[in-house]
Chain A
């Protein structure tokens, strides 16, 4: 059926709203909103006027009162006597060492400004990139003139947050073989969930491995989960695998000539299909309010492939519409299986 129009969605099922990390032993409190765990406070809403509570993040106490008022829309958290509100949606807050996927917004004389979904644009200085061929030298005026041959507006790159300035703008670097320009793949952005320490509903969370390779029937594909909620899924490049064993002393030899290429390699149709499938599934995962990490993606991917095979052999398998429907079905099956 080409067109599917549904009635407005019912409130999200209670299972997704359950907050596993809220302190239950605080039963002696008499907060008006603490009765139900799924309660959401809105900006300007009075949380409590009891002076025994302390204000935390996302709250505000007007002068001369002891009333605690929420400043963001989100879930209420209590840590002993500290009240904080965890926003439902927030921009990515950069931290040193984060692996991020970014898009070049503008090119300046000695640096690029990069959109990393943070409140402010990040900067990538010319001195923080690898030169083609891995030559280690000072950046000259010639490099400054040729700055667009490395990255130009709109280009995608994967980088690491090197330092944070006082105003919380991030400075990035790509001085590793893992980082650099992105090609041969598809970019997906997940909105409003990037990089929380506390697990928000859905989105990428900081984990041990942000980049991994997924084995598919058509071939291997690389997935880069930026902590900022930007995701890049690409065809697996063989050369990158070979480069991993190279020691730092032979860096110049290993940095391939295609480091700053904006030309795609030949990609098999099967791989194209698997890349779009993974991207669709990740979007579906977020729509279902589930967290996005390596384990989850691998499991859901397998489930989705199985589902498709079943559909092809048996005919119509009951499932919802679109990406969310597929992911919901797969998740339900995974739960059943254990």
Chain B
């Protein structure tokens, strides 16, 4: 389970109880009441903001959370690999323009040309150290979803001696007002989608020589299915955050909404390669909701300041709490996620016309428009 956000919830039990009751209505009443349960907070996005980077994007949410992502590619000498004989035969096939099938990851390690180490992701969040659990987890989750398809790292291959090394620097410009994973992933998606690499002029195993003309550069993610292995244009993955409150499922929760969540799920989706579904899942994680750490509210019957009697022992207090039938008292949710709930959320995300497809479509529209 992923680490919860370090900055813990600082809401009073009465507020938590209020939020919980409004979010468990049918339909749920969200904190921003112009939004439905599937609506994302409105955001503003732009790309190509950094002149020196191969690709960059900036997304700002209405509440002031802002993320900046820069993608920088460098030519690096490939390390000589000891399994040379096997490598040789494999590479002759590769240079013969037969692209590798992206099978599972273990096979890529030995058979595919791309290596996981060619993509380096760094996530920086103000107020957190580099080795704090939150940035480390976010970076791992983003890298994992990016490498999952295997197509990207193969595209970084130049020739037997050289490859592109891709540095993806993810920067949160504001303090993390809500769980920043979804925002960072969308910004990284947009940056990668608009990244361009200089066109290669040299051939085969020569020292790589590139076209000076930036207009001739090739996009990191090809716009159309030019390459033979990819039927539909490959796009970077995007991570969607969903939470459950009672029977309701809410996408893109804000900080206050997260504070009363029963369970939170991060789903990394890539666009579908076939037309049967809207998107496909590349990775999925549950996130420990901060609501588990909130202190429970004290019911009037147990509060000496409201005419109640304080239970004599903690065991008695526990029994009284369990028997409590009052809805106005905040009790932190317990336990994890039910299986059918997970499948329901996943279905809502990936189905045709689902949330993932809309997010990818909306991000694509920025680049086009």
Interface residues of A (CB under 8 A from B): 1-9, 103, 132, 146, 149-150, 152-156, 181-187, 191, 257-267, 269, 272-273, 275-277, 279-280, 283, 287, 321-326
Contacts and interface: CB of A to CB of B under 8 A. Distances in A.
A4 B362 contact: yes
Given A263-B326, A276-B31, 13 more contacts: A2-B36, A5-B59, A5-B363, A7-B366, A8-B60, A149-B298, A155-B14, A187-B11, A191-B64, A259-B306, A264-B21, A267-B18, A275-B22
Residue with the highest number of chain B CB atoms closer than 10 Å, among A9, A186, A261, A279: A261
Residue with the highest number of chain B CB atoms closer than 10 Å, among A2, A146, A263, A273: A263
Contacts of B358: 1-3
B329 to A, nearest CB: 5
B44 A132 contact: no
Nearest to A9: B44
A6 B33 CA distance: 20
B256 to A, nearest CB: 9
A317 to B, nearest CB: 13
Residue with the highest number of chain A CB atoms closer than 10 Å, among B9, B11, B15, B358: B15
Contacts of A5: 42-45, 59, 362-363, 365-366
Residue with the highest number of chain B CB atoms closer than 10 Å, among A132, A149, A154, A326: A154
A278 B11 CA distance: 20
Closest A-B pairs by Cβ, 5 of them: A183-B14, A264-B328, A260-B305, A149-B305, A3-B362
Interface string B39-80: 111111110000000000011101010000000000000000
Contacts of B366: 5, 7
Contacts of B15: 156, 185-187
A146 B305 contact: yes
Contacts of B38: 2
B14 A262 contact: yes
B215 interface: no
Nearest to A260: B305
B306 A3 contact: no
Contacts of B42: 4-6, 321-322
A258 B300 contact: yes
A276 B30 contact: yes
B14 A4 contact: no
B255 to A, nearest CB: 12
Contact of A262 (B32, B39, B60, B297): B297
A7 B13 contact: no
A156 B31 contact: no
Contacts of A2: 36, 38-40, 251, 355, 358
Nearest to A232: B15
B104 interface: no
Contact of A154 (B12, B29, B326): B12
A91 to B, nearest CB: 16
29 contacts: A4-B362, A7-B45, A7-B46, A8-B45, A8-B46, A8-B60, A146-B304, A154-B12, A156-B12, A181-B14, A185-B15, A186-B19, A186-B31, A259-B306, A263-B17, A263-B300, A263-B326, A263-B328, A263-B329, A264-B21, A264-B327, A264-B328, A264-B329, A265-B328, A269-B29, A276-B31, A279-B33, A323-B34, A326-B34
Contact of B12 (A155, A272, A276, A324): A155
B319 interface: no
B229 interface: no
A154 B10 contact: yes
B228 interface: no
Given A5-B43, A262-B303, A263-B328, A272 B14 contact: no
